[in-house]
Amino acid sequence: AQRVTQPEKLLSVFKGAPVELKCNYSYSGSPELFWYVQYSRQRLQLLLRHISRESIKGFTADLNKGETSFHLKKPFAQEEDSAMYYCALSPPGANSKLTFGKGITLSVRP
Amino acid sequence: DTGVSQNPRHKITKRGQNVTFRCDPISEHNRLYWYRQTLGQGPEFLTYFQNEAQLEKSRLLSDRFSAERPKGSFSTLEIQRTEQGDSAMYLCASSTDRVFSGYTFGSGTRLTVV
């Protein structure tokens, strides 16, 4: 069975501090992995995906197949990063169903 | 095209009543997905369509739930004989069937069963 675990519900940091949002997954094979973000009063939107190896808004995420992890990182948090973040996976090769974690609230204080 | 549109935004209904939600996807997207989200949880997959064909249904989708996508455009999700446990945010998303294209989500319909 496929599963995404986000072990923490809330991360609160000061502006300028580093951020790491943890995500572990369980899947028999090589899934597609994503981070989605939901800012206050906005829709859920894609932040980044592992296959593209890109940095979006200063965030990066590295897939560690040995540890089955896909942690989201940013070296210097900004207040506008405050949001709900969801890690998600889907089967490889297609836009089929996503399995989401429970999400983590990131709060960046001034 | 203003993205994925869901109606209504909010719905309050009495237990036992039927409700229907509508989702209008991005016009060039041939895939459409329904998710349900309860407080403190991530979105949970319900079902998805490729054009008008319903390709997969979750076990979460009991017999009281039915989804359609006639003509492969908009979709409706109907819940019959609503129960208090059906109270949730119902999210719709759409995508192409190209690999790695990602989803576009709607704002959701919040259902409250009283």
pLDDT in tens, A71-80: 999 999 999 9
- For A8-52, write each residue's pLDDT tens digit: 999 999 999 999 999 999 998 888 899 999 999 999 999 998 877
| Sign, Cα dihedral of A23, A24, A27, A32 | positive
Interface probe with A: pick from B49, B99, B109, most Cβ of A within 10 Å: B99
What are the C-alpha distances in Å from A2 to residues A90, B29, B38? 9, 26, 20
User: Mind telling me how many Å the CA of B55 is from chain A's nearest CA?
Assistant: 9
Nearest by CB to B56, which of A46, A97, A99?
A: A97
- Euclidean distance between the first and final Cα of chain B, in Å? 35
State which residue of chain B sits closest to A41, comparing Cα positions.
B107
Which of chain A's residues have a Cβ under 8 Å away from the Cβ of B42?
4, 6, 86, 88, 100-103
pLDDT in tens, chain B (114 residues): 579 999 999 999 999 999 999 999 999 899 999 999 999 899 999 999 999 999 999 987 889 999 999 988 999 999 999 999 999 999 999 998 876 667 899 999 999 999
Q: Is B99 on the interface with A (CB under 8 A)?
A: yes
The verdict on a CB contact (< 8 Å) between B42 and A52 is no
List the Cα angle A83/A87/A89 in 5-degree steps. Answer: 150
Q: How many CB atoms lie within 10 A of CB B41?
A: 14
